[in-house]
Amino acid sequence: MTRLNYIVERVMPGNFSTYGKPLVMLLVPLRDGNTLLVLRLKGQRVGYVVHLADVYRLAALWHGNKERQARAVARKNGVPWRIARKQFNTLPPIPRRVKKKDGSP
C-alpha cells in the first residue's frame, strides 16, 4: 500500500444535500501514522474531523446492523440465510475510468 505523505483534497461533484454546495474531503496524514478525514462544504472554513479508523468502525457497525435486518427479513420470508446472503453481499458496480488510446486519462 502506498504511504500517504501529503494532504489529499477531493471536491465531490454536484451539490451536497440541501446546502447547495459541493462537499470537500481531505485526507490528512499524521506523524504517528494515523490519518484524519476532514469533511467540509466548499467555501466554508469549519470542517468535521474524524480519524479514519473511526470511520471504519462506523462502517462495520452499520454493515452489521443491515445484515441483522436482512437476516430477520430472510427468516420472516422463509429463505435460508446462505441463499439470502448472496443477494445481501452483492455490491453495486464501481464505475471505472476508461483511458483513451493516446494514453491521457
Supply the pLDDT for residue 6.
Answer: 92
88 with 67: CB under 8 angstroms? yes
Supply the pLDDT for residue 36.
Answer: 94
Supply the pLDDT for residue 96.
Answer: 75
13 with 31: CB under 8 angstroms? no
- The domain locations on the chain are 8-51, 54-88
Mean pLDDT by 10 residues, the chain (105 residues): 87 82 92 91 91 94 94 94 89 73 62
Q: How far apart are CA 15 and CA 44, in angstroms?
A: 14
Angle subtended by helix axes 52-77 and 81-88, to nearest 10: 140
Q: How far apart are CA 20 and CA 25, in angstroms?
A: 16
Supply the pLDDT for residue 94.
Answer: 77
Supply the pLDDT for residue 99.
Answer: 66
Report CA torsion sign: 53, 57, 62, 66. Answer: positive
Supply the pLDDT for residue 56.
Answer: 94
Supply the pLDDT for residue 102.
Answer: 66
**The C-alpha cell that represents 38 in the structure block:** 476532514
25 with 36: CB under 8 angstroms? no
